[in-house]
Chain A
Amino acid sequence: MTCEEARLLIGADPETLTPALEEHLRSCAACRALRADMLRLNAALRRALAEPPSLRAARTSRSAAPPPWRQWALAASVVLAIVAALGVWVLRPSDTLASEVVAHVQGEPQSWFATHNVSAGAIDHALKNSGIGLDVSSDKIMYAESCWFRGHYVPHLVLETEHGPATVLILRHEHVRALDHFHESGMTGVIVPSGEGSIAVLERGGGRVDELAGKLRQQVHWLPEPDDHSQSKDHP
């Protein structure tokens, strides 16, 4: 068992020890420390959930209407916030996209280790939030999640290829002008412009990402986007 696999199991269910995890923990101080940390978090979680949350007894009706100046102040602050957000959006360096893609994939180490094909329903769920169609045969898809990335839900897939697993993020709202190759944290990847957005393809080690990215450009279909569904979800 690798540290990545161990971290997934510890983070998901710190109190369960499989024989393989136990063996790994005997020789890995970092994972032992993580487990100790997660066990403490779990104990705190139990205490936190032992009481009902502090809730209002019922949906309260709105209290007295706020003074008009408050609404103007609120509107002005919303406009300022939008302008500031747009400024940050426009000015942010494009090369951070690759870094954020890598960071996202690193945050889901378990995705590389999926050994079973995901169900058609799970694939559909991962794609439908973003209005994406995909021609790839479902028996090649080992992992499919709808992930929160840069303010939108995007399909995060792992495809089984001849050279091993490859991660694919279909980024409807991210635009690149040309192929953007990167090597970071032991991953090789490329972000290619495609249809209404771009597609990121990553492999561990020195992968043949261009070949897969080229195929995916043909296989991805950009359907009408759902009604801003991603933005309306409850997300911190």
Chain B
Amino acid sequence: MRNSSPPSPVSSISERADARASFTALFESLRPDLLRFAQWLARDRALAEDIVQEALLRAWRSRAALKDPSAARAWLLTIVRREHARLYERKRLELVSLDEAAEIPDSAPAAGADGELVMLRHAIMRLPLEYREPLVLQVLGGFSTEEIARELELTATAVLTRLFRARNKLRALCGVTASGVATPGEPA
């Protein structure tokens, strides 16, 4: 048997400090992404900041569960989503309405690509959470249908249905197709 000397206490402390520093750096680098994600879910900037703060605390406490740093973004987005769900369940009656939350332009948005983008962003905000959540998870989070189904505790068919409805509602709410041709509103 080979003799191996025990790690020196100094190097152990130093490694732990390095690990903490790298976690902190990782979390901070992902924070803007998490905040944007939380804002699209919560539709309230202050609430989103609280959610991200709480999610990062939870993530820090359970950082040992993150084995692969390349999976950190998806892991943290999941924690943010759950934190939002917890808050939504706890405070659903207190959450702000869209009209209180969003800065809706008084005048019609500018014509052209920018105007359409403003309309689309507003239409996303008007989507009910049950449609907005899987859509944001898919488009912003990059989650697959199966991953969303697991996260939301739905069947894959139900997720497909919600995503299908979400896009149809967006087209109806915007009143335009993706190619810019006006379409009649789809019945809910």
A122 to B157 CA separation, bound complex (whole angstroms) = 11
Indicate whether B15 reaches chain A with its CB closer than 8 angstroms: no
User: Closest residue to B169 on the A side, CB-wise?
Assistant: A236
For B48, what are the chain A residues with a Cβ–Cβ distance below 8 Å? 55
Contact among A111, A116, A122 with B154 in the assembled complex (CB-CB below 8 Å): A122
Contacting pair A9 B160 (CB below 8 A):
yes
B139 with A52: CB separation less than 8 A: no
| CB < 8 Å neighbour of A53 from B40, B96, B178 | B40
Q: A8, B160: Cβ atoms under 8 Å?
A: yes
A12 to B148, CA, bound (A): 12
Contact B128 A234 (CB under 8 A): yes
Chain A residues within an 8 Å CB radius of B168: 11, 107
Of B101, B127, B154, B178, the residue contacting A44 (CB under 8 A) is: B178
Chain A, residue nearest B157 (CB): A114
Q: Does A73 contact B (CB under 8 A)?
A: no
The listed residue (B39, B120, B159, B173) touching A236 by CB distance below 8 A is B173
What 0/1 readout, one digit per residue, does chain B (137-166) give for beta carbons within 8 Å of chain A? Answer: 011100001000000011101111101110
Please report the total number of B residues contacting A with Cβ < 8 Å.
55
Closest to A37 in B: B178
Q: Give, as a whole number of angstroms, the nearest-CB distance from B77 to chain A.
A: 13
Assembly CA distance A38 to B139 (angstroms): 13
Q: Which of B36, B46, B179 contacts A58 (CB 8 A)?
A: B46
Question: How far apart are the CA atoms of A58 and B100 in the complex, in Å?
Answer: 10
**A 78-121 to B, binary, CB cutoff 8 A, 1 in contact else 0:** 00000000000000000000001001100110110010101101
Give chain A's interface residues, CB within 8 Å of chain B. Answer: 7-9, 11-13, 36-42, 44-49, 51-60, 100, 103-104, 107-108, 110-111, 114, 116, 118-119, 121-122, 143, 145, 148-149, 233-236
Those 7 A-B pairs whose CB atoms lie nearest each other, nearest first: A41-B178, A40-B178, A12-B163, A11-B164, A12-B160, A58-B46, A55-B45
